[in-house]
Chain A
Amino acid sequence: SYELTQPPSVSVSPGQTARITCSGDALPKQYAYWYQQKPGQAPVLVIYKDSERPSGIPERFSGSSSGTTVTLTISGVQAEDEADYYCQSADSSGTYRAVFGGGTQLTVL
């Protein structure tokens, strides 16, 4: 089955830039999406179609894609950004099956 691979954890100090990667063989042909999930809360979409930002999401959140890797970048990290982040995409079967990465816990030191 298709897999997306994320690092389990990333740590940054406030004001620094956090980069969370997600790797998958089908990513050159499929869009990637990113979700933020804080403890006890439902996930929130923060990036769609690799690099688009939904309304209401701060500009410090951005996304990029290069080959089989997509990256979520959070510039000027704030304490409130501490959360789990999940990438999501689809396999190349053409059947609308979604796949999530294992998640990355972002710690703001």
Chain B
Amino acid sequence: EVQLVESGGGLVQPGGSLRLSCAASGFTFSSYWMSWVRQAPGKGLEWVANIKQDGSEKYYVDSVKGRFTISRDNAKNSLYLQMNSLRAEDTAVYYCARTDIVVVVAATHFDYWGQGTLVTVSS
């Protein structure tokens, strides 16, 4: 059974940093792209970032470029999101998601999701 368990969320002041982790099990982690998707309170889903199997390709939504860094450790079956210079608008539940890619059309989608971890940016 595929399991994705996020951790690391919490309350942080504007301008602060936080590192999210996602522990994966039940599948061959190193064979899949992985992503972070967030959802602000009462709002819709927003893709944040994704990373290729070997970490050689990474993509970000424009609003987090230069502030967030996605990474992975295939030996530990873990995905990470380093979040710096946090803003109030980054407040959201952050989901880790296993990602499937269709190379021909550069399509990406999310076939398994964790339960999410809440990040609150407030003074």
Residues in chain A within 8 A of chain B (CB atoms): 1, 29-31, 33, 35, 37, 41-45, 48-49, 54, 84, 86, 88-90, 93-103
Contact = CB atoms under 8 A, between A and B. Distances in A.
Given A86-B44, A97-B47, A98-B35, A1 B62 contact: yes
Contacts of B82: none
Given A96-B59, A96-B101, A98-B35, A43 B47 contact: no
5 tightest A-B CB contacts, nearest first: A98-B47, A42-B113, A33-B109, A103-B44, A94-B106
A45 B109 contact: yes
For A1, A45, A102, the residue with the greatest tally of chain B CB atoms inside 10 Å of its CB is A45
Contacts of B105: 29-31, 90
Contacts of B100: 48
Q: Contact residue range for chain B? A: 20 to 34
For B50, B62, B95, B110, the residue with the greatest tally of chain A CB atoms inside 10 Å of its CB is B110
B61 interface: yes
Given A48-B109, A96-B106, 17 more contacts: A31-B105, A31-B109, A42-B114, A43-B95, A45-B110, A48-B111, A84-B44, A88-B47, A88-B109, A96-B101, A97-B61, A98-B35, A98-B110, A100-B44, A100-B47, A101-B44, A103-B44
A103 B111 contact: no
Contacts of A31: 102, 105, 107, 109
Given A94-B106, A96-B59, A42 B116 contact: yes
